[in-house]
Amino acid sequence: MELFEQTAASLAADIKSKKVSAKEVTDALLARIDAHDKNIGAFTCIDAEGARAQAAEIDSRIAKGESVGALAGVPVAIKDNIHVTGMPTTCSSKIMKPFVPPYDAFVTKKMREAGAVFLGKTNLDEFAMGSSTENSALQITHNPHDFERVPGGSSGGSAAAVAAGFSPLALGSDTGGSIRAPASFCGCVGLKPTYGVVSRYGLVAFGSSLDQIGPFGRTVEDTALLLSVIAGHDPKDSTSRAEPVDGLNAPLNPSAKGLKIGLPKEYFETDGLSDEVRNSVLAAVDALKSEGAQVQEVSLPMIKYAVPTYYIVATAEASSNLARYDGVHYGSRAEGTDNIIDLFSKTREEGFGPEVKRRIMLGTYVLSAGYYDAYYLRALKVRTRIAQDFDKAFEQVDVIASPVAPDTAFKLGELINDPLAMYLSDIYTISTNLASVPGISVPCGTDSKGMPVGLQLMGRRFEDARLLSTAAAYERLSGWNGKIASL
C-alpha cells in the first residue's frame, strides 16, 4: 500500500513505531499533490518547507524517545478561512489578500501540539458562501472522481484533498452543510460537531451562530481522531462549551444493536430527491437494521421552513460580520478614491464577488428598520421551532438518518447562474446548524455515473461520540472504508 493510501490512524501508528518517518510521509504526499493538484485545484497554497520542518521535528523527537501527540507526523490540510501562523488566510477572496495571520486558530494550535504536519490551505467558496466551490475568487476546484463535476461547498478544497489522497485529514467549516455536502460529493467522511464543541477562535466568521469547524477523514476512525484533538473549551470563544464532551477520547463502539434510528418523513417526500440517492440511503438504513437497529418514522414538521429561515439568519449575520471589510478596518484597500464613501464603495466592489455581495444585500435588507420584525425576528422564532422538532424526535430515537443532498455532484457551471437552485441543494443539511445538533456524512455507495452518495446521520446535542460510533457501524457494514479516487 502506498503511503498516500494509508489512513491517518495507521500513519500515526507507523510513524510512532518508526516503521516509516514523518519526512517520508510528508514527501510522498507533497509529491502526489505536485503531480495531480493541477487537475483538481484543492489547495490555494502549499507550505512544503514548513511541512518538512514540522515532519523533521517529529522524527527528531521520536528518535530521542520523547512523547509525541496523537497526530504525530500526520499531514493535515486546512480550509483557507482558518488561521495558521505565517500562512496566508485568503477566504478565497480578493479583499483578504495579502493577509498573513500572526497567530494560530484554537484548532490549529491544538493540532500543532498534537504533532500534525500542515500541508497548506484549501480552496473554498468565497467567505464560505456557496455549495460548489465555484464562488472562489482564486480558482475552481474539481471533484476527484470526475473533473467535470463540483466537489461541493463551501469546504470543497478540503474534501477534494482527502478524496484525492493528498491528505488523510482536513479541516473545514460548516455553516449550513459546508462539510457534509462536500464529503458526500467526494466520497469521504465529514462531521459537523455540535455547536460549541470546537472553538471558532481563528475562524473567519460567516454566520456566527451557525459556523462550526469540523474534520474530514477517509474513515470514521480518522474523523473521530481529529475531532478528539481539536475539541475542548476555549476561553477566547464565549460560545465554547465549558464541560468536556463525553466519549470523544474513547474508542469507537461500531455496533448498531439496540440503536433507535429515525427516518424523517419530510426528508423523503421533497421534490427533487434522486431515486438513486433515496435508494442508497434506505439501503444503508436497512444494513443497520439487519444488525439489530430499530427503525421508525419521525416527523420534523417545521423543516419545510428551514431554507428560508437559514437564508435570513445566515445572510443577516454575514452582513454584520463582513461590514468590517471596508478598506480601513480590515482587508485590502482600493486606490484612486477621494473620500471615505468612495473608498468603502470601491473597496467592496473590487474585493467581493457576486455571491458575497448578494448575501450582504439580503442580510442588510432583513436587518433594516422596516423589515427586522417581519423577516429576521420571525426567522429566529422559526429557528426555535425547528430545534424543538429535533428535541421531540430525539425523545423517540437515538439518531436520525437522511440524505445529505438531493442528488450526487452536479456538473461545473450547471447551477452557478441559478442561486435559488444552489441554495436548495442544502435542504437536508441546514436544519442541523439551525438546531445546533451534530451531523455526519458517511459514504453509502455510488450512483449510475459512479459518483459517491452520502448517508447523513444526525444526533442529540453533545452526543457526537455516539454519532461517530453509529457512522462507524455502518462503515464497517458497507466496506467503503477509506477508498480514494483514481487519478
- Rounded to whole angstroms, how far apart are CA atoms 91 and 246? 33
| Residue 458 DSSP one-character state | E
21 annotated active-site: no
| Torsion angle in degrees (nearest 10) through CA of 434, 429, 222, 144 | -140
Distances (CA, A) of 195 to 245, 299, 322, 419, 435: 12, 23, 21, 27, 9
Handedness of CA 52, 53, 56, 57 (dihedral sign): negative
Structural contact between residues 97 and 90, judged by C-beta atoms closer than 8 angstroms? yes
Backbone angle region of 92, left / alpha / beta, with phi > 0 → left and psi within -120 to 50 → alpha: left
User: 260 forms bridges with which residues in the sheet?
Assistant: 294
Q: Please say whether the beta carbons of 167 and 161 come within 8 A.
A: yes
| C-alpha separations of 300 from 389, 394, 472 in Å | 5, 11, 25
User: For residue 288, which of 258, 318, 267 has the smallest C-alpha distance?
Assistant: 258
Nearest alpha carbon to residue 169 among 127, 108, 210, 126: 108
Residue 94 bears catalytic tag: no
First to last CA, the chain: 16
Cβ neighbour number for residue 487 with a 10 Å cutoff: 16
- β-partners of residue 427 are none
Angle at 117 between CA 116 and CA 119, to 5 degrees: 135
C-alpha cell at 364: 442588510
C-beta of residue 387 within 8 angstroms of C-beta of residue 305: no
- Chain mean position to CA 107: 14
What single DSSP character describes residue 166?
A: S
Q: Of 178, 184, 240, 319, which is the active-site residue?
A: 178
> How many of the other CB atoms lie within 10 Å of CB of 157?
35
DSSP state at residue 175: S
Residue pair 253/123 in contact by the 8 Å Cβ criterion: no
Active-site hit among 154, 228, 319, 469: 154
User: What is the chain's alpha carbon radius of gyration, rounded to the nearest angstrom?
Assistant: 21
For the chain, give the longest Cα–Cα distance: 71
- Among the listed residues 434, 449, 407, 406, the one whose alpha carbon sits nearest the alpha carbon of residue 146: 449
Residue 154 annotated in active site: yes
* Active site amino acids: 79, 154, 178
